[in-house]
Amino acid sequence: MSSRPQPPAHDRLVELSGDEAVLPAGSRLADETRAGHQCFVIIEGAATVERDGSKLASLGSGAFVGELAPDGHPLPPSGVTVRLETRSRVLVLDSARLTAAINADPVLADAWRSLVGPT
């Protein structure tokens, strides 16, 4: 693995609303049977999205794990299980803290939109 410098938006998201974690393969980022409170960005690694044991999608580095409200604010994933396929480095985002930070800081809001794409 190479050590790449992180863009300022990444550093700001971590500082204001989350933490980085390295998790082993098999870890669950979301469980379809439980309400979540966090969103994630896969910095390095891979995950599978499942519902009722059926694979729905594969996710890789740079993927946002969560849902977006109509206004573009982050929501925890719901109704799916997201399981890491590989040892992964993830950004763990508290959705309430991130929403408050986005509302308070237009620069961070722009960085968030560039991370998750247009809403």
Question: DSSP of 55-110, one letter per residue?
Answer: EEEEE-TT-EESEE-TTS-EE---S-EEEESS-EEEEEEEHHHHHHHHHH-HHHHH
Residue 93, pLDDT score:
84
Residue 2, pLDDT score:
32
Residue 117, pLDDT score:
67
Q: What is the pLDDT of residues 86-101, one digit of tens each?
A: 999 998 888 888 888 8
Most confident range (mean pLDDT) of 9-13, 62-66, 72-76, 99-103 is 62-66
In this structure, whether the domain defined by 8-116 belongs to CATH 3.20.20.140 is answered with: no
Residue 90, pLDDT score:
93
What share of the chain has pLDDT > 90, as a percent?
A: 37
Domain ranges of the chain: 8-116
Residue 39 has pLDDT above 70, yes or no: yes
All residues at 6 or more sequence positions from 114 whose CB lies less than 8 Å from its CB, including other chains: 9
Taking each helix axis as running N to C, give the angle between helix 106-116 and helix 8-17, from 0 to 180 degrees, rounded to the nearest 10: 110
